[in-house]
């Protein structure tokens, strides 16, 4: 699903984002990306959706080499990658339902069945009763569930999340993790950057640890810290 | 819901939501299009008056009341013989008065109580080549039966030099104004897009193509441009009507050529330019934020 070969990203003039990272993530995996602040987790995620270009190396996502992917094709790449962020990134002027619907509309799917699909997904994340509210009327945890619903609306093969629980209390975080876990169960590959030590230790999934842009640990059933 | 109606819905929702911004932009377009319209009407009229004057380069030879019928006939024959003359006409005192009465149809009281006909008889001579006016006019000056020779050339030349300056200034004014409007509007729209740059960023992350993001903004700009232009058209047309009526009432001798065709032209030009400015403004404003 994801393959990195000697990927290096340097922010001008000389800040290291990632340095010679090579790794391979299989279809259907659940991967935690851990590391101190500034270790390169967000850089990694932004490279995957071609929001950033690497200075060296090759990135292959879903069989597509991102370095040769034409600029106008980037939107089509992103429709196959669900994205969840710490700050939710919901459209403030759209209702909950319209936010999720938007992800379907950009693919040209604005049918009545797409509308029903939106309701289904919102029910699935437990927000069936808030479809007509605006994002600012929701709690942080609810907003994050909307953004997960949106990320999952197209049933993408890959879902990446950059600290999706970073702003949430432990209990709400557990609910979000539960959602991501269930999405992973449907076959979607999930890559999640996080600082949440407890969560990572409990889940016992593959852990990739970064330090100053380099992979310092890649463990199949790892914990947050060394083990 | 189709794609097109979605784009229009997005555009109108956003116009409605940011109504203050919308009003400001519409007023901006209105002001610049109104000025453009006023300048257009002005230039159009100047041109028409000029053309009128240009064609009126003819010679009037006014005769003394003492001139006999014989004298007049001799002169008429002489005029007809001249190779430079295209056309000539003798206008008797009675005819001159009749013409004046026709011209002043609505203001008859001005000449109702004249004790005697004060108007002179005259020859009106038009030439094949307006440049020979001075030469031909000279031949009549100082003759015993001639009271005065008048021809439009001096006047026309003076008007030409003044109006060509006005015409050039107006042209520069129109171009400058157009540029200023585009800048103002693209700036207004850029501001509204800047306020929504985060939204644009999110749309891109969700996988929207540039055109999917662009269309609502373009429709927004187009709507603002059209609204402003429609207002401008209404005001310009009402304004010209009003001003022209005043002119016709008070300056009876001036022929004012403004008509329906030029109103239509002015209207269409303003609408077209307004719409174009709006669309171009949002297109320009968007460019920076789509390169994410
Ligand atoms: N746009 C940028 N321009 C310059 N330097 C940047 C930029 N974004 C990140 N960096 C730098 O790159 C390094 C890696 O940053 P990154 O955001 O990937 O870290 P992170 O692991 O996500 O951190 P956090 O846990 O705090 O989110 C840091 O040193 C950071 O200062
Ligand atoms: Mg980060």
Give percent of chain A above pLDDT 70.
Answer: 99
Same-domain check for residues B250 and B116? no
**What is the spatial distance between Cα B50 and Cα B48, in angstroms, rounded to a whole number?**
5
In a domain, A166, yes or no: no
- The string of pLDDT tens digits covering residues A174-218 is 888 989 999 999 999 999 999 888 888 988 899 999 999 999 999
Greater model confidence, B164 or A90: A90
ipTM field: 0.87
Q: Which two tokens stand for residue B116?
A: 């005697």
Section B62-89 average pLDDT = 86
Q: Mark whether B165 and B286 lie in a shared domain.
A: yes
Q: Where are the alpha helices (DSSP H) in B196-209?
A: 197-205
Q: Would you say A189 and A25 are in contact if contact means Cβ atoms under 8 Å apart?
A: yes
Chain A residues closer than 8 Å to B204 by CB: 75, 78
**Domain annotation covers residue A151:** no
* Residue in A closest to B201 by C-alpha: A89
User: Ligand 1 pocket test: which of A8, A12, A13, A17 has the largest number of ligand atoms within 8 Å of its C-beta?
Assistant: A17
Residues B126 and B164 reside in one and the same domain: no
Listed in sequence order, the residues at least 6 apart from B190 whose beta carbon sits closer than 8 Å to its beta carbon are B281, B284, B285, B288
Average pLDDT rounded to a whole number, residues A27-35: 94
**Cis check: omega of the bond before A87, within 30 degrees of 0:** no
The answer to whether position A124 is within a domain reads no
Model pLDDT for residues B99-124, shown as the tens digit of each residue: 887 777 766 666 666 777 888 888 88
Residues B191 and B278 in one domain: yes
Range of the domain at B136: 58-151
CB contact under 8 A, A75 and B292: no
Which helix (H) or strand (E) segment is A7 a member of? strand A2-11
Give the pLDDT mean for A47-70. 92
Chain B residues closer than 8 Å to A90 by CB: 202
Pocket of ligand 1 (CB under 6 A): A 11, 15, 17, 35, 37-43
Distance in Å, CA B37 to ligand 1 centroid? 54
Q: What is the mean pLDDT of residues B266-272?
A: 89
Counted domains in chain B: 2
Q: Which of A100-104, A222-226, B5-9, B66-70 has the lowest mean pLDDT?
A: A222-226
pLDDT the model gives residue B292: 47
Q: What is the pLDDT of residue A95?
A: 95
- Cβ–Cβ < 8 Å for A90, A147: yes
Please compute the mean of the pLDDT values over residues B170-186 and round it to a whole number: 70
- What is the rounded distance in angstroms from the CA atom of residue A34 to the CA atom of residue A198? 12
Residue B22: the pLDDT is 82
The three state secondary structure string of A143-168 is HHHHHHHHHHCCCCCEEEEECCCCCC
> Cα(B154)–Cα(B137) distance, rounded to whole angstroms?
12
> Looking at B151, B175, B190, which one is the last position of a domain?
B151
pLDDT of residue B216: 87
Percent of chain B predicted with pLDDT > 90? 7
Question: Residue B147 class from Cβ within 10 Å (0-12 exposed, 13-18 middle, 19+ buried)?
Answer: middle
Q: Are B236 and B266 in contact (CB under 8 A)?
A: yes
Question: Any idea which of A143-147, B89-93, B96-100, B250-254 has the lowest mean pLDDT?
Answer: B250-254
Q: Is B123 exposed, middle or buried (0-12, 13-18, 19+ CB in 10 A)?
A: buried
Is residue A162 classed exposed, middle or buried when 0-12, 13-18 and 19+ CB atoms within 10 A define those classes? buried
Residue A9 has pLDDT above 90, yes or no: yes
List the single best residue of A45, A47, A82, A89 to mutate versus B (max B Cβ within 10 A). A89
- Number of CB atoms found within 10 A of residue B167's CB: 16
Q: How many CB pairs under 8 A join A and B?
A: 54
Same domain, B173 and B282: yes
* Residue A34 maps to a domain: yes
The CATH number of residue A24's host domain is 3.40.50.300
Residues A171 and A76: their CA atoms lie apart, in Å, by: 35
For chain B, count helices (H), then strands (E): 9, 4
Instruction: Give the contacts of A44 (CB within 8 A, at least 6 positions apart).
Output: A18, A21, A33, A193, A210
Structure tokens belonging to residue A122: 């919102």
Question: What pLDDT is attached to residue B220?
Answer: 87
Question: For residue B260, which phi and psi values (nearest 5 degrees)?
Answer: -65, -35
CA of A85 to the centre of ligand 1 (A): 15
Contacts of A72 in chain B (CB under 8 A): 209-210
Number of domains chain A is built from: 1
To test the pocket of ligand 1, the residue of A33, A40, A48, A52 to mutate (highest count of ligand atoms within 8 Å of its CB) is A40
Residue from the list B13, B208, B292 with its beta carbon closest to the beta carbon of A106: B208
């Amino acid at each position: 699903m994801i393959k990195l070969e000697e990927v290096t990203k340097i922010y001008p003039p000389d800040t290291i984002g990632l340095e010679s990272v090579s790794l391979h993530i299989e279809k259907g995996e659940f991967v935690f990306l851990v590391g101190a602040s500034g270790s390169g987790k967000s850089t990694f995620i932004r490279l995957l959706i071609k929001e950033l270009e690497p200075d060296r190396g090759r990135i292959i996502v879903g069989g597509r080499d991102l370095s040769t992917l034409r600029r106008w094709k980037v939107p089509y790449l992103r429709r196959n990658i669900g994205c969840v962020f710490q700050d939710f990134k919901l459209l403030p002027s759209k209702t909950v339902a319209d936010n999720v619907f938007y992800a379907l509309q950009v693919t040209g799917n604005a049918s009545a069945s797409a509308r029903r699909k939106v309701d289904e997904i919102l029910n699935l994340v437990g927000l069936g009763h808030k479809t007509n509210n605006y994002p600012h009327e929701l709690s942080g945890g609810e907003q994050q569930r909307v953004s997960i619903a949106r990320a999952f609306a197209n049933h993408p093969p890959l879902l990446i999340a950059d600290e999706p629980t970073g702003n949430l209390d432990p209990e709400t975080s557990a609910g979000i993790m539960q959602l991501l876990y269930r999405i992973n169960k449907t076959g979607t590959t999930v890559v999640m950057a996080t600082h949440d030590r407890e969560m990572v230790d409990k889940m016992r999934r593959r852990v990739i640890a970064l330090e100053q842009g380099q992979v310092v640990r890649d463990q199949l059933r790892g914990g947050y810290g060394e083990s | 819901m189709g794609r097109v109606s979605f784009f229009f819905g997005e555009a109108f929702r956003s116009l409605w939501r940011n109504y203050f911004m919308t009003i400001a932009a519409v007023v901006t377009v209105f002001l610049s299009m109104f000025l453009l319209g006023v300048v257009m009407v002005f230039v159009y009229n100047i041109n028409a008056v000029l053309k009128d004057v240009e064609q009126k380069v003819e010679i009037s030879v006014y005769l003394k009341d003492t001139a006999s019928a014989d004298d007049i006939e001799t002169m008429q024959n002489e005029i007809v013989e001249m190779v430079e003359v295209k056309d000539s006409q003798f206008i008797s005192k009675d005819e001159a008065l009749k013409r004046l009465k026709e011209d002043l149809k609505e203001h008859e009281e001005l000449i109702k109580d004249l004790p005697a006909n004060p108007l002179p008889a005259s020859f009106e001579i038009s030439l094949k080549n307006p440049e020979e006016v001075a030469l031909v006019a000279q031949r009549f000056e100082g003759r015993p039966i001639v009271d005065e020779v008048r021809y439009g050339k001096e006047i026309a030349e003076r008007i030409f030099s003044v109006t060509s300056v006005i015409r050039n200034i107006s042209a520069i004014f129109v171009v400058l104004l157009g540029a200023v409007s585009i800048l103002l509007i693209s700036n207004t729209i850029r501001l509204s897009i800047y306020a929504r740059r985060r939204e644009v960023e999110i749309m891109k992350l969700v996988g929207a193509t540039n055109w999917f993001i662009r269309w609502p903004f373009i429709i927004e700009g187009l709507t603002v441009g059209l609204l402003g232009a429609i207002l401008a058209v209404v005001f310009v047309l009402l304004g010209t009507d009003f001003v022209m009526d005043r002119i016709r009432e008070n300056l009876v001798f001036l022929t004012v050529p403004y008509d329906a065709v030029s109103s239509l032209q002015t209207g269409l030009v303003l609408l077209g330019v307004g719409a174009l400015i709006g669309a171009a403004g949002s297109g320009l404003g968007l460019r920076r934020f789509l390169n994410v």
